[in-house]
Amino acid sequence: MNICFIMYPWEKVDPKNDSTLALIHECVKRGHKVAMATPANLTIRNSIAYGFCNVITNKEGISRSASSFYKSATLKEKMLPLAAFDVIFMRANPPLDPIVLNFLDSVKDDVFIVNSIEGLREANNKIYTAVFDDPNNEIIPVTHVSKNKEYLKKTIKESEQDKMIMKPLNGFGGSGVIMLEKSALSNISSLLDFYIDNKDGSSNYVILQEYIEGADEGDVRILILNGTPIGAMKRVPGEEDHRSNVTAGGTVVKHKLTKKEKELCDRIGPKLVKDGLFFVGIDVINGKLVEVNVMSPGGITYINKVAKIRLQEKVINALEREVDQRNKRIERKAMLKNSLND
């Protein structure tokens, strides 16, 4: 299998905790050809999409440890056509550059792309949770998205709750997530100015979301593969931060899916599959879906540590099956075409 990871720069990989590295390491151990390219390294030559790639060239002695593998990996720079790969795995950090999808549009019929172009376009920001039919807010917390400051201030004042969560539409890793309290409304105007207004005169969307009871105890990250949950962890906030993201100082503990969380996964799984979202991470608080992460969902290494499993094996097994099925369909079609010439 030939697989290209479109990701952040290799030198920015965290050798101990990086989910993308865990996937790359698993591929190399199995003998698959692995190349890596950043979004900025995609190009067009003679109307063909290419990537200026770093190809992993280690042939022998692949370390069993991902961190040791990272330190000893040998890379060779090559300009490679994207259509030559069996799989393109999108692992770039948000926000999504829509131009990247234009490059991939030209090869989407030739390569299995994780996640699909259509799925990435639809689900790359936090508005995607609105696609799930939930008129009574059984699985989605009450959510508001706007750039209109007066409307947002009015929404906060009219809320029956004393607390709300505010966050930027395109943030990730817990960046910019703050808890608002009605007792501090005097700060709201300046906060909205900061979140919405850019120096160039443009503006950003912000999200206001109801505060879910139990959020102070942490959230649950669930990794979903082809519509089915394959692993989960609970993230507990640190003493000085309401956010449970590990990058914000949260800690990880082992977690077994509750009945409510399983029902949530069953409810949203078919829609994820329909939208071509093969590998995603969802964030859940008290059984309610807070976010769907489709760009570069993390958590593999942390879940592996607390649950004593190897999720990267499940992901690569699924990719191998997908490529095998696609190759068989191509071979069958070629055979049927050849029969016309008999």
- Can you spell out the DSSP letters for 9-33? -GGG--TTT-HHHHHHHHHHHTT-E
Domain ranges within the chain, ordered by starting residue: 2-114, 142-210, 216-309
Query: Among 172-181, 201-210, 251-260, 311-320, which is the least confidently predicted range?
Result: 172-181
Examine domains 142-210 and 216-309 and report if their fold is the same.
no
Backbone dihedral angles phi then psi of residue 219, each to the nearest 5 degrees: -125, 175
What sections of 183-310 are H helices per DSSP? 188-196, 259-274, 300-307
Q: Which residues have C-beta within 8 Å of that of residue 184, sequence separation ≥ 6?
A: none
SS3 label, residue 279: strand
Burial 307-335 (b: 16+ CB within 10 A, else e): eeeebbebbbebbbebbeeeeeeeeeeee
pTM (2 d.p.): 0.90
Q: Is 42 left (phi over 0), alpha (psi -120 to 50) or beta?
A: beta
pLDDT of residue 23: 98
The CATH code belonging to domain 216-309 is 3.30.470.20
Both structure tokens of 173: 């890793």
Residue 247 has pLDDT above 70, yes or no: no
Residue 174 has pLDDT above 80, yes or no: no
268, burial (CB in 10 Å: exposed 0-12, middle 13-18, buried 19+): buried
Task: Please give the helix or strand (H or E) that residue 315 lies within, else none.
Answer: helix 311-339
- Tokens 């330190």, residue located: 71
pLDDT of residue 341: 78
Residue 180 has pLDDT above 90, yes or no: no
**Confidence at 340, pLDDT banded by 50, 70, 90:** confident
Residue 175 has pLDDT above 80, yes or no: no
- Best CA proximity match to 173, nearest among 261, 246, 75: 246
The length of the chain, given as a count of residues: 342
How many angstroms separate the CA atoms of 247 and 298, rounded?
11
- Tokens 């550059």, residue located: 97
**Confidence at 279, pLDDT banded by 50, 70, 90:** very high
Compare 158 and 41 and report the one with higher pLDDT: 41
pLDDT of residue 80: 98
Q: What percent of the chain shows pLDDT beyond 70? A: 96
State the fold for domain 2-114: Rossmann fold (3.40.50)
Both structure tokens of 42: 């995609």
> Averaged over 186-193, what is the pLDDT?
86
Task: Please give the helix or strand (H or E) that residue 332 lies within, else none.
Answer: helix 311-339
Compare 30 and 242 and report the one with higher pLDDT: 30
Average pLDDT, the chain: 92
Classify domain 142-210 at the CATH superfamily level.
ATP-grasp fold, A domain (3.30.1490.20)
Residue 95 has pLDDT above 90, yes or no: no
**Confidence at 241, pLDDT banded by 50, 70, 90:** low
pLDDT of residue 249: 63
How many angstroms separate the CA atoms of 116 and 101, rounded?
10
Residue 284 has pLDDT above 70, yes or no: yes
- Best CA proximity match to 295, nearest among 92, 101, 118, 103: 92
Query: Which amino acid belongs to residue 250?
Result: G
Q: Is 115 left (phi over 0), alpha (psi -120 to 50) or beta?
A: beta
> Averaged over 147-166, what is the pLDDT?
90
pLDDT of residue 337: 84
What sections of 132-251 are H helices per DSSP? 149-158, 188-196
How many angstroms separate the CA atoms of 124 and 137, rounded?
22
Query: Among 205-219, 251-265, 302-316, which is the least confidently predicted range?
Result: 205-219
Burial 67-87 (b: 16+ CB within 10 A, else e): bebbeebeeeeeebebeebbb
Greatest mean pLDDT among 37-46, 58-67, 88-97, 247-256: 37-46
pLDDT of residue 146: 94
**Confidence at 272, pLDDT banded by 50, 70, 90:** very high
pLDDT of residue 25: 97
Both structure tokens of 6: 């479109």
The answer to whether the peptide bond before residue 95 is cis (omega within 30 degrees of 0) is yes
